[in-house]
Amino acid sequence: MEVRENEMQRDYIRFDGNDISLAAKMVDKLTSTIDIIYYLMNRREERAFVVMLVSAQNIDVKALLTEEKRNTDILFEIDEEASLYAIICQNTKIDGGYYFADRVLRSMILAKGEDIYCTELEVRTTVHSIKYVILKLIETFIKSKQDKKQGQIVFRTLH
């Protein structure tokens, strides 16, 4: 298949059918929870949160994340076959989210995980729609895979 000129741009991300299906699953699974967190943020009971998307092969990612997460963190199984999970870390800012991701990444490496990808999105405000937050997270994840950022933490912030 021929690559079109606009597809050669550096920041171009193309969602294939599997990516769109994955994005739809994420919207279905995360929307209600983020809506509640937005409510708490608007009442000033929450300041910011981090949502993390992580995958790895040849290890039990779900068990590892269950062990590493706090009681206030919410774990979502997005795609068991692809070993893809999301975690919403309530009342967490960029530094706390990064340290958590670093701890998870080190645990996955020690467990001999392969094809490890980890992206995080810090959300500081409720101005963005919930769908935008979720789609930005999956877009960042897809881009990290396209850029072969295996074993790295890719972190973005939404202001």
- What was the pLDDT predicted at 119? 97
Chain mean pLDDT for the chain = 91
User: Residue 66 pLDDT > 80, yes or no?
Assistant: yes
Residue 6 in domain: no
DSSP-based three-state secondary structure for 60: coil
CA distances from 25 to 20, 29, 40, 78, 148 (A): 9, 6, 24, 7, 23
Name which of 141, 103, 113 is nearest 57 in CA terms: 113
What pTM was computed for the model? 0.89
Tell me which of 16 and 113 has the higher pLDDT: 113
Beta strand 114-123 pairing with 153-158: parallel
The pLDDT of residue 6 is 47
Q: What is the percent of the chain where pLDDT is above 70? A: 92
- Specify if 152 maps to a domain: yes
Distance (Å, whole) CA 35 – CA 13: 27
Q: Is the confidence at residue 42, as pLDDT, over 60?
A: yes
| CATH number, domain containing residue 104 | 3.30.70.270
Task: Tell me whether residue 11 is in a domain.
Answer: no
Tell whether 29 is covered by a domain.
Answer: yes
Give the pLDDT of residue 16. Answer: 86
Number of domains forming the structure of the chain: 1
Q: Is the pLDDT of residue 104 over 60?
A: yes
In this prediction, residue 4 carries a pLDDT of: 46
Model confidence at 9: pLDDT above 70: no
Range of the domain at 124: 16-158
Span 99-122, mean pLDDT? 96
Q: Give the mean model confidence (pLDDT) for residues 124-147.
A: 95
- Given a cut of 60, whether residue 10 has pLDDT beyond it is no
